[in-house]
Amino acid sequence: MPTEDDAKVALDTVSEQLIKLPCVTGLGIGTASQSEGATLFVYLDSKQKDPSARAAIPKKVEINRPDGSKVAVPVQLIEQDDLKFE
Q: What is the pLDDT of residues 25-77, one digit of tens each?
A: 999 999 977 888 999 999 999 888 888 988 999 999 999 999 999 999 999 99
| pTM for this prediction | 0.85
Domain borders along the chain are 4-80
The pLDDT assigned to 38 comes to 96
Q: How far is CA 68 from CA 8, 16, 55, 71, in A?
A: 17, 24, 29, 10
Name the residue with higher pLDDT: 37 or 84: 37
Pairing relationship of beta strands 37-45 and 70-80 according to DSSP bridges: parallel
Q: Is the pLDDT of residue 81 over 90?
A: no
